[in-house]
């Protein structure tokens, strides 16, 4: 995922009001003060253009007039081409250009934004002159104006010398930053342009986290997510102070925080509990796209709130005609990842099958694989679904693709194939060909990649059982599931040489003997999310499917974590 969305070009944005307020400035005489008041109070372009004829017009007042003109043009949606073609406007530009060094800082910074808003090219002579003057003054600008400059230039997609210099100055002066709004604005609009500055801003945000209101907490979390910056100390601080907010959180805060936590794979149970609790009553106010996105976010965080999931299922039934096929598939896949069966299961899955019928061709290869895999997890797959994705034609669409997404889809096809063989007695084929099944048995080449727990099993089991020939380690099965260790026990629970017996779960079996009467295969499984309780692991649809398949294949399961 990219670090953040590219700054959008906004050539016709309204100049801000931040340079129009009173500034520290030299004293003005009465005529100049009167002209300033006239400029600031002008309500139409003609009043502003007329000041170009005044003898008291200084370069500073001309800059103010241009800035005010740009704001009026934006607010009143005026034709900027006619303004640029007026000789009086050219006179204002010439006045500024002749004595640009006399323009005060605030009007100069505002002028930099006003010229593009009036349609003058950023590469034109006037714009270059203003930019060069700002560049020379950077060291003397107050931090507030540096922040405003950075925000404006980043929003314009500026590619000249000025923006990098502004960022460099901010990197050096970050300790001067004060106020939550400034820090949040820089993180959201400028941080993606300078990793160094973003690190400093994260430190400052950590210091100010207690002062953030809910919307600022939202914007900071969103900035981290869009830039893929998983700053755990800051995320923990945001979570803590979010939980201290007594009032109910606004809906945009709920949805954006959920997106951010999901994007960063940051699971904070108390926060997720609050988000799910407060989202549920407002679910009907969300669009189908938002509901689907929320379901996917909770699923990626492996967090199941049954009341919220029930509400999502009911929303899907109530808004079937509004949900696109892709949005419905997103909800279905989310339920599968969490192994969630709605209480209205029959009605829900009837609706899903009805909506999917005849629409499969609209889904891309990977999404269709995800959908059928999800139906298999939830034990709702029908023979037509199995035939569609297990056909040679469908397999050919994945061949030659080495992307991570394609590898994930191949693994899911193995799971679907196992469902077809083990859980669909009436299904006659097609199935995946043997060459696609894997099932390599022992994989000693992966010994170096073994986790501490796997290594402990590898060292402890041979001694406990009585010899290395009584256990098979790190077994890759034809069902798409890996077994950390495999043992064969006779009817008296005594271990037998595992490699002497036929192993239908492997592509190539070393032994040929059938298991003795009363003998059983035991699969030792190490689940990948040890932070969950055993009950929590049941939430994972993938784990539920693995258990079903291995039991159907004749294994007893011994689980460790």
Q: Given this model, what pLDDT does residue 458 score?
A: 81
Is residue 125 helix, strand or coil?
A: helix
What pTM was computed for the model?
0.83
Query: 202 Cβ partners below 8 Å, 6+ apart?
Result: 187, 224, 229, 231, 234
Structure confidence by residue, pLDDT tens digits, 18-68: 333 334 445 556 677 888 888 888 888 888 888 877 767 889 999 999 999
Those residues with Cβ within 8 angstroms of residue 448's Cβ, 6 or more apart along the chain or in another chain = none
User: pLDDT value at position 27?
Assistant: 53
pLDDT at 449: 64
What six digits make up the tokens of 189? 């609009």
The per-residue DSSP string of 159-216 comes to -SSHHHHHHHHHHHSGGG--SHHHHHHHHHHTGGG-HHHHHHHHHHHHHHGGG--HHH
Q: Which two tokens stand for residue 525?
A: 């499984």
Higher pLDDT, 260 or 7: 260
Give the 3-state secondary structure of residue 473: strand
Q: Where does residue 433 rank: exposed (0-12), middle (13-18), buried (19+ CB within 10 A)?
A: exposed
Report percent pLDDT > 90 for the chain.
58
- The DSSP line for 38-78 is HHHH--SHHHHHHGGG-TT--HHHHHHHHHHHHHHHHHTT-
For residue 34, what are the CA distances in angstroms to 41, 57, 58, 129?
11, 11, 13, 28
- Tens digits of residue pLDDT in 479-503: 999 888 999 999 999 999 999 999 9
Neighbour tally for 269: CB within 10 Å: 10
Least confident among 80-89, 182-191, 345-354 = 80-89
Output the pLDDT for position 13.
41
The answer to whether the Cα torsion of 98, 100, 106, 109 is positive or negative is positive
Domain range list for the chain: 379-437, 452-559
Averaged over 517-546, what is the pLDDT? 70
Q: Point out the least confidently predicted range of 123-127, 225-229, 237-241, 268-272.
A: 123-127
CA nearest to 348, candidates 320, 386, 379, 306: 320
Percent of the chain surpassing pLDDT 70: 89
Q: Would the pLDDT of 439 be above 80?
A: no
Tell me the two tokens of residue 545.
């499917």
Report helix, strand or coil for 343: coil
Distance CA 376, CA 385 (A): 10
Band of residue 561 on the pLDDT scale cut at 50, 70, 90:
low
CA-to-CA distance for 522 and 489, rounded, in angstroms? 7
Q: Which residue has the higher pLDDT, 348 or 85?
A: 348
Between 2-16, 435-449, 538-552, the lowest mean confidence (pLDDT) is in: 2-16
198: tokens are: 């973003």
| Cα–Cα dist 426/126, whole Å | 78
């Amino acid at each position: 995922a990219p670090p953040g969305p590219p700054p959008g070009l906004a050539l016709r944005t309204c100049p801000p009001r931040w340079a129009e307020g009173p500034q520290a400035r030299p004293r003005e005489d009465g005529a100049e003060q009167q002209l300033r008041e006239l400029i600031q109070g002008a309500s139409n372009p003609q009043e502003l253009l007329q000041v170009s004829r005044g003898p008291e017009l200084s370069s500073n007042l001309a800059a103010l007039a241009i800035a005010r003109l740009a704001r009026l043009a934006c607010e009143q949606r005026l034709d900027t081409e006619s303004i640029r073609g007026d000789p009086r406007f050219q006179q204002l530009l010439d006045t500024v250009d002749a004595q640009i060094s006399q323009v005060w800082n605030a009007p100069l910074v505002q002028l930099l934004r006003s010229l593009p808003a009036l349609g003058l090219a950023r590469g034109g002579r006037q714009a270059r002159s203003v930019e060069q003057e700002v560049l020379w003054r950077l060291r003397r600008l107050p931090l507030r104006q540096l922040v405003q400059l950075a925000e404006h230039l980043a929003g314009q997609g500026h590619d000249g010398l000025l923006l990098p210099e502004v960022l460099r100055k901010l990197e050096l002066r970050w300790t001067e930053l004060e106020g939550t709004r400034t820090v949040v604005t820089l993180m959201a609009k400028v941080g993606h342009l300078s990793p160094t500055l973003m690190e400093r801003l994260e430190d400052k945000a950590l210091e100010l986290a207690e002062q953030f209101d809910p919307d600022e907490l939202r914007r900071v979390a969103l900035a981290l997510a869009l830039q893929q910056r998983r700053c755990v100390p800051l995320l923990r601080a945001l979570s803590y102070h979010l939980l201290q907010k007594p009032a109910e959180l606004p809906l945009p805060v709920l949805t954006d925080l959920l997106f951010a936590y999901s994007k960063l794979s940051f699971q904070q149970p108390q926060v997720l509990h609050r988000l799910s609790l407060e989202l549920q009553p407002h679910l009907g106010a969300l669009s189908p796209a938002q509901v689907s996105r929320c379901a996917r976010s909770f699923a990626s965080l492996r967090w199941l709130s049954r009341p919220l999931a029930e509400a999502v299922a009911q929303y899907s039934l109530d808004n079937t005609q509004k949900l696109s096929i892709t949005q419905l598939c997103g909800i279905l896949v989310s339920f599968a990842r969490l192994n969630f069966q709605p209480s209205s299961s029959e009605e829900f899955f009837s609706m899903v099958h009805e909506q999917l019928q005849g629409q499969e061709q609209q889904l891309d290869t990977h999404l269709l694989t995800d959908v059928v895999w999800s139906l298999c997890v939830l034990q709702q797959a029908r023979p037509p679904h199995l035939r569609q994705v297990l056909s040679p034609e469908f397999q050919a669409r994945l061949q030659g693709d080495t992307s991570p997404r394609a590898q994930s889809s191949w693994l899911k096809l193995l799971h679907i194939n196992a469902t077809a063989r083990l859980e669909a007695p009436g299904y006659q084929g097609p199935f995946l060909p043997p060459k696609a099944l894997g099932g390599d048995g022992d994989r000693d080449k992966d010994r170096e990649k073994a986790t501490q727990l796997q290594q402990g099993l590898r060292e402890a089991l041979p001694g406990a059982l009585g010899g290395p020939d009584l256990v098979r380690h790190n077994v890759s099965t034809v069902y798409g599931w890996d077994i950390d260790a495999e043992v064969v026990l006779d009817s008296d629970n005594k271990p037998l040489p595992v490699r002497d017996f036929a192993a239908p779960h492997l592509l190539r079996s070393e032994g040929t003997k059938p298991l003795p009467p009363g003998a059983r295969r035991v699969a030792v499984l190490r689940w990948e999310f040890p932070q969950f309780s055993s009950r929590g692991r049941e939430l994972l649809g993938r784990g539920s499917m693995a258990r079903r398949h291995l039991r159907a294949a004749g294994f007893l399961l011994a689980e460790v974590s």
